[in-house]
Amino acid sequence: MKKFLVSIFLIAAVGMGASAQNEQGGNQRPRMDRTEWVKRRTEMMVQKYGLDEKQAAALKELNEKQMMPRGNGQRPQRPEGAQGHQGPRPGGNWQEMMKQYNEELQKIMTADQFKAYTEDMEKRRQERQNRQGPPQW
């Protein structure tokens, strides 16, 4: 009888712990909506690179343009039997999109500001590569 009560207690404790984690969303951060992302990214870049009001307005417009929904917002149907990713993504090629973003950003920023931005982006890219480690075969 004692073992039965202990096992019931343990099952209830595990169940309560799991439901509490689900209510808190686990360890995941809440996702920002597009407008909040644009606002935060713009504010961060204005502060970090010392942009003036005119540059800030142009940057906000660029960030809004970048974050607009692409396509019709629906996922394309995968052909029967297809596995994994095949063909271009519905959002387009991200490298091409970043190239266009950087070209527009270069028009907004001064040469020194853009140089600092590109150095920061290269540093972030290196950090991501180092974090991933060597490929595992």
67-108: pLDDT as tens digits: 876 554 444 444 455 455 454 455 568 888 889 999 999 999
Within-domain flag for 103: yes
Within-domain flag for 104: yes
Within-domain flag for 10: no
DSSP label at residue 50: T
Instruction: State the Cα–Cα distance between residues 97 and 89, nearest whole angstrom.
Output: 12
Tracing tokens 């207690």 back to the chain, one arrives at 9
Within-domain flag for 7: no
- The closest alpha carbon to 63, from 103, 105, 94, belongs to 105
- The closest alpha carbon to 103, from 68, 69, 49, 65, belongs to 65
Task: Determine the structural domain holding residue 41 and report its residue range.
Answer: 33-65+94-132
Q: Is 20 helix (H, G, I), strand (E, B) or coil?
A: helix
Express each pLDDT in 34-70 by its tens digit. Answer: 888 889 999 999 999 999 999 999 999 999 988 876 5
pLDDT higher than 90, residue 131: no
